[in-house]
Amino acid sequence: MKKTFYLFFALILTLSACNSKDKKQSHNVMENNMEHKHQNDGHDHQSTSEESEHNHADHDHGNSATKQDRKITVNASKNTATSDIIDSYLSIKNGLISDDKAATAKAATALLKAFGSFDKSKLDADQLKEYNEIIENATEQAEHIVKSPIDHQREHFEVLTTDVNDLISLLGTNKTLYEDYCPMANDGKGAIWLSEFKDIKNPYFGSKMLKCGKVQKQIN
């Protein structure tokens, strides 16, 4: 009887120890799982933050259209050397009027070629300095126009207009052009464009608001 009692008591102690061990192991597993989840959560948060920063940087780069404020004395000479650049600019403008992304990109490619073939040998030192600064910024805008969707093409066209307008002021042109203004462009801040036509055809809105704008002045 005593032997049976001791065996029974030993069995209870053994079962109790096993249960205690199992509970401890279960507790440790739960702690490890919670710690692992916390680490993953932290890792996911970091990745999301990095991804967001990367996307924001890409977005800023796709919209890097920056105007340059320049003080240039107007050159009224009938200069034909700027004609290829102006013609390519006008083709970009006409592509936007037609809501034609591909035609606009093609015209921007032609503009880049015109920049490259322009003869700078006849420019004096001051003109060359100003020309290089204008073309550096205009080239960046044209490159974006080549590869951007049409809404971004229009954003970069606005800045490109400032560059081409400054180039005409610097070197002159033999063309008759019209400086047009749309008060609704640039998020309601207003923007200009150059046109070979007196009739208003708005490149910033195309078919949506084709006639929005007015002629501000005539060049030549």
Residue 164: predicted pLDDT: 98
**46 and 121 assigned to the same domain:** no
Using alpha carbons, select from 162, 163, 143, 164 the residue that is nearest to residue 62: 143
Edge to edge, what strands does the sheet with 177-182 contain? 191-195, 177-182, 214-219
**40 and 84 assigned to the same domain:** no
Residue 64: predicted pLDDT: 54
- Whether 138 is in a domain gets the answer yes
- Whether 70 is in a domain gets the answer no
Model pTM?
0.71
- Whether 202 is in a domain gets the answer yes
**44 and 131 assigned to the same domain:** no
**176 and 88 assigned to the same domain:** yes
Give the pLDDT of the chain (220 residues) as one tens digit per residue.
444 444 444 434 433 433 444 444 434 434 444 444 444 444 343 333 333 333 333 334 344 566 667 778 888 899 999 999 999 999 999 999 999 999 999 999 999 999 999 999 999 999 999 999 999 999 999 999 999 999 999 999 999 999 999 999 999 999 999 999 999 999 999 999 999 999 999 999 999 999 999 999 999 9
| Contact by Cβ (8 Å): 163, 65 | no
How many structural domains does the chain have?
2
Which stretch of DSSP H or E encloses residue 20?
A: helix 2-62
Q: Please give the distance of CA 88 from its chain centroid, rounded to a whole number.
A: 22
| Contact by Cβ (8 Å): 125, 92 | no
Domain limits for position 38: 1-58
- Whether 157 is in a domain gets the answer yes
Residue 71: predicted pLDDT: 78
- Whether 69 is in a domain gets the answer no
The contacts of residue 183 (CB under 8 Å, 6+ apart) are 190, 212, 213
**113 and 214 assigned to the same domain:** yes
Q: Which amino acid, one-letter code, is at 82? A: T
**161 and 117 assigned to the same domain:** yes
